[in-house]
């Protein structure tokens, strides 16, 4: 059985909901999933003014040294100015020791994101996330086209070959659609199955 970490940051709950769906996909595939968020780094006055809210059901990650316990790590960040949020980047910037020791080499990685607009930078965010995973020596998997829910233009839909996504809408009121939740579950299952196959 593979152990998968779903590691995320979320200000308004969209990425937190996608994290739940990814973990569900891992578990439905018969594997183990933990959900952890990275620490808030924005000043308290910004957190208050912007209405950032933390999902208390998901504990904070116990530092970089918690990561090597897992066979796979699926990383979620909202899109911020077309790239990964600073909270998540800041966490990875504390992982130099893991890089130096090669502790994540050969583990499986994947990414997911959310943005307000359909073309607000999701693919760049996914790439700015998986870049970190490649540097750590991880084997990165995407949301392959076996997930057919990402095809078609019949409705607004997230999802890209580079990872699972959702679109929050300009006022953040849109919740992840059925198709986006299915994409998140698919990604979780794909990472877990791949990690189980690659485990030494
Ligand atoms: C500082 C900041 C920058 C943002 N930049 C973008 C952006 O470049 N493109 C976009 O579509 N949405 C942008 N957004 C909206 C976020 O992507 C959106 O709030 C997020 O996807 C919601 O996810 P969450 O509920 O998990 O926080 C930005 C939001 C903030 C606070």
List average pLDDT for each run of 10 residues in the chain, which is 200 residues long: 98 98 98 98 98 97 98 98 98 98 98 97 97 98 97 95 98 97 98 94
For residue 148, CA distances in Å to 63, 157, 179, 200 come to: 36, 12, 9, 31
Residue 15, φ and ψ in degrees, nearest 5:
-65, -35
| Backbone CA torsion sign across 43, 47, 52, 58 | positive
Looking at residue 200, its pLDDT comes to: 72
Q: Look up residue 52 and give its two tokens.
A: 């950032």
Task: Give residue 84's pLDDT.
Answer: 97
Whole-number Å distance, alpha carbon 96 to ligand 1 midpoint, is 27
pLDDT at 189: 98
| Token duo for residue 164 | 């699972």
pLDDT reported for residue 125: 98
CB of 113 closer than 8 Å to CB of 160:
no
Residue boundaries of the structural domains of the chain? 3-198
Tell me, in angstroms, the distance from the centre of ligand 1 to residue 148's CA: 26
Q: How far apart are CA 111 and CA 129, in angstroms?
A: 6
Ligand 1 pocket, residue 78 CB under 6 Å: yes
CATH of domain 3-198: 3.40.50.360
């Amino acid at each position: 059985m593979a152990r998968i970490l779903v590691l995320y940051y979320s200000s308004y709950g969209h990425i937190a909901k996608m994290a739940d769906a990814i973990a569900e996909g891992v578990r439905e595939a018969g594997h183990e999933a933990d959900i952890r968020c990275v620490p808030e780094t924005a000043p308290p006055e910004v957190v208050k003014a912007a209405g950032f809210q933390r999902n208390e059901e998901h504990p904070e990650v116990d530092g970089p040294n918690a990561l090597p316990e897992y066979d796979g790590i699926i990383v979620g960040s909202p899109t911020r100015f077309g790239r990964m949020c600073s909270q998540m980047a800041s966490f990875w910037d504390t992982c130099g020791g893991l890089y130096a020791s090669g502790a994540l080499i050969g583990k499986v990685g994947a990414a997911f994101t959310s943005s307000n607009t359909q073309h607000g930078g999701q693919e760049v965010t996914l790439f700015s996330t998986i870049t970190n995973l490649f540097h750590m020596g991880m084997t990165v998997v995407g949301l392959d086209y076996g997930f057919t829910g990402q095809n078609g233009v019949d409705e607004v839909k997230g999802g890209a070959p580079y990872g699972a996504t959702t679109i929050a809408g300009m006022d953040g009121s849109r919740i992840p659609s059925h198709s986006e939740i299915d994409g998140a579950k698919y990604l979780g299952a794909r990472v877990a199955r791949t990690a189980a196959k690659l485990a030494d």
